[in-house]
Amino acid sequence: MKMDINRVVQIRGGSVTFFGIGAIDKFPEILDIYKGRGLSRAAIITGRNSYRISGAWEKIEDVLSQKKIEYIHYDGIRANPSVDQIDEAVKRVSDFKPQFVIGIGGGSVLDASKIVAALLRNTGKEARDIYVKDFVPQEALPVVAINLTHGTGSEIDRYAVATVPELKDKSGAAAECLYPEYAIDDPTLMLTLPEKQLIYTSLDAVNHLVEAATTTLSSPYTVMLAREGIDIIAKWLSVALKDPSDLEARYWLLYASVLGGIAIDCAVVHITHPLEHTLSAVKPELEHGLGLSILLPSVLKAIYDVQKDVLDLILDPVTRGKRGALEVARQVEQWIFSFGVKEKLQDVGFSNDDIQDLVKYTMEAQAGGGSLSLAPLEVTEELVRQIYEESLNPLSV
């Protein structure tokens, strides 16, 4: 399908998303809207480097000055952010009394930005109140999410993930007020993504699409999104890897990521995400997309027989007619390997001796009826153990 990738379009849902090449140039319009509402003080939340390397900061710094927006900048968010990092961000910016929040980064930064916005509106609360004590915020400061990866979906959904270190628990918060008010998805801001991040974030989007199409909340809509999104990624990821400057490839990968974000916003996730959250809670240095890629083949093997028709449909661009639980799982694993992502759990620091603890942490985190309860089959302790054990080594061996 031919599309004018230079035309910026709006995608409306819980957030108003400006999507396409040059979408960052809509930032002044957003600030004009805020100025018209009397909002002129911003807290800017970023990681250490990507907001500059991507070119996003160069685009917005002068605009902030031109529009006379005062701001305070916190750049302490890291991958797989903890509740303590989020609380520190709130502490650093609260005395400035910001009226809205600008998050510039990938999923970790955008998730943190949304919780910072909620805590700034709910003074006296801390991140642990949300992630441990089940406080559900009803209000948050407006958020502008400037997305720098094609995999998160956080810029358009109502979720925010953080780690509680003492519980070895990385879990998601969900609230209507966590939708960013505005999101910017501009492929030009992703040209500097390192190759591994290009792959991991795209495979994160694949997992969003697969899980949302197969939860107990799935619908024809999420299945349609998954079919289209996976087809796009199967076509364009290899193109982007061959030529990282190919803006058409970046455009379509970003579009597939948006589809994944919409899909999980409608139908949530089930097995792969909570099991990966345990992995990266234990090892915060583990890239989220890598952890998901390690687990996905075994999860597909587990759910195939109860979701055969859906999986055969949405995965056909990858499986090319392969059928059967083990065959489909192996084919997807080989497809992941084809991008150079050949790591399994034993390659990222886990061994058979760790399995029991991983199972324990996962089941404890999900005891209150988490996303495992949305899986298309009963997820027992034995099944969780099986998936972790199978993921230590390739299924294809």
Domains of the chain: 9-188 (3.40.50.1970), 194-390 (1.20.1090.10)
Helix (H, G, I), strand (E, B) or coil at 108: helix
In this structure, which amino acid lies at residue 122?
N
How long, in residues, is the chain?
397
Per-residue pLDDT of the chain (397 residues; tens, 9 = 90+): 566 888 886 666 889 999 999 999 999 999 999 999 999 999 999 999 999 999 999 999 999 999 999 999 999 999 999 999 999 999 999 999 999 999 999 999 999 999 999 999 999 999 999 999 989 999 999 999 999 999 989 999 999 999 999 988 898 999 999 999 999 999 999 999 999 999 999 999 999 999 999 999 999 999 999 999 999 999 999 999 999 999 999 999 999 999 999 999 999 999 999 999 999 999 999 999 999 999 999 999 999 999 999 999 999 999 999 999 999 999 999 999 999 999 999 999 999 999 999 999 999 988 877 899 999 999 999 999 999 999 999 996 5
Q: What is the DSSP letter of 136?
A: -
At residue 1, the pLDDT reads 56
Sign for the CA dihedral angle at 341, 346, 349, 354 comes to: positive
Sequence-distant (≥ 6) Cβ neighbours of residue 281 within 8 angstroms: 80, 163, 164, 165, 167, 168, 169, 170, 361
pLDDT for position 367: 81
Check if the beta carbon of residue 236 is closer than 8 Å to that of residue 244: no
Q: Are 225 and 212 in contact (CB under 8 A)?
A: yes
User: Which of left, alpha, beta for 48 (phi over 0: left; psi -120 to 50: alpha)?
Assistant: alpha
Q: Is 58 exposed, middle or buried (0-12, 13-18, 19+ CB in 10 A)?
A: exposed
Q: Measured between alpha carbons, how far is 331 from 315 in angstroms, rounded to an integer?
A: 10
Look at residues 190, 183, 114 and name the one whose alpha carbon lies nearest to residue 151.
Answer: 190
The distance of Cα 196 from the centroid of its chain, to the nearest Å, equals 15
CA gap 186, 79 in Å, rounded: 21
Alpha helices (H) in the chain, listed in sequence order? 27-36, 50-53, 56-66, 83-94, 107-121, 127-131, 195-214, 220-242, 247-267, 272-282, 288-303, 308-314, 316-319, 325-337, 355-365, 381-390
Which residues are bridge partners to 182 per DSSP? Answer: 16, 144
Nearest to 312 by CA among 323, 300, 327, 299: 323
The pLDDT score that the predictor gives to residue 51 is 97
Closest by Cα among 335, 308, 341, 281 to 131: 281
Q: What is the pLDDT of residue 369?
A: 78
Pair 60, 152: CB distance under 8 Å: no
Q: How far apart are CA 257 and CA 292, in angstroms?
A: 15
Q: Of 329, 188, 244, 223, nearest to 236 (Cα)?
A: 244
